[in-house]
Chain A
Amino acid sequence: GNSVTQMEGPVTLSEEAFLTINCTYTATGYPSLFWYVQYPGEGLQLLLKATKADDKGSNKGFEATYRKETTSFHLEKGSVQVSDSAVYFCALTFLNAGGTSYGKLTFGQGTILTVHP
């Protein structure tokens, strides 16, 4: 079946440090890949996405590249801020044999990021 594996957390960084959160996936068909972010006490928000191999998603200084050869979608940011403290979820949807997806998101386990001043 389809699954997403994220690096174990929590991750604690100082402000302006470089961030990488690893994400790998297992999927049949052609998945689209997402990073969602959950700030404390809130629902999830889309951070970025990529729908085909070699696409790069980017938003708010975060980037992730869809790597089909390594089945990965690692999240990176060059200089984190205290306001980036949140839980980050890697996720995928996929097209089934009938060409539909029904939008079912399969999530990784989430990575808690804490950034200190």
Chain B
Amino acid sequence: DTAVSQTPKYLVTQMGNDKSIKCEQNLGHDTMYWYKQDSKKFLKIMFSYNNKELIINETVPNRFSPKSPDKAHLNLHINSLELGDSAVYFCASSPAQLAGGPGDTQYFGPGTRLTVL
């Protein structure tokens, strides 16, 4: 009965490879997010989708492409991986945000630790 799940938990790969991280939520939420946490624990939003529609796209290299096949899933595909992509990536979800409700809680997955060699 996990609320927000991510796979894989760990991902080790070589520079230049392409990899994907999957995220699923069973909370019935409309909005999903990807965050990146660097080695100093700093967290920054990357993308947000509401009902499969992209609503937040921070200044992320276009090697990163999120895809939302339905509102319960938000996957992150990364092309041509670089050393600087090494980080922990967190998926999160929350109830609908478009009508306001800035106080809504976001529920985070356990994270995917990506290491690029």
> Which residues of chain A have a CB within 8 Å of any CB of chain B?
30-32, 36, 38, 41-46, 49, 51, 87, 89, 93-95, 99-107, 109-110, 112
Q: Is B103 an interface residue (CB 8 A)?
A: yes
Stretch at the interface among B11-19, B59-67, B75-83, B106-114: B106-114
> Which residues of chain B have a CB within 8 Å of any CB of chain A?
4, 31, 33, 35, 40-45, 48, 50, 55-56, 90, 92, 94, 97-111
Known contacts: A102-B98, A109-B40. The answer to whether A49 contacts B103 by CB under 8 A is yes
Output the nearest chain A residue to B43 by Cβ-Cβ distance: A107
Please name 4 further chain A to chain B contacts, defined as beta carbons within 8 Å, in addition to the given A42-B110, A93-B103, sorted by A numbering.
Answer: A42-B111, A46-B107, A101-B100, A105-B33
Q: 29 A–B contact pairs at CB < 8 A? A: A36-B108, A38-B41, A42-B110, A43-B4, A43-B110, A44-B43, A44-B90, A44-B108, A45-B108, A51-B102, A87-B41, A89-B43, A93-B103, A99-B100, A100-B98, A100-B100, A101-B101, A101-B102, A103-B94, A103-B104, A103-B106, A104-B45, A104-B48, A106-B45, A109-B40, A109-B41, A110-B41, A110-B42, A112-B41
**B43 touching A102, Cβ below 8 Å:** no
Bound CA span A31–B107, Å? 19
**A103 touching B33, Cβ below 8 Å:** yes
A45 / chain B contacts, CB cutoff of 8 Å:
108
A100 / chain B contacts, CB cutoff of 8 Å:
97-100
**A31 touching B102, Cβ below 8 Å:** yes
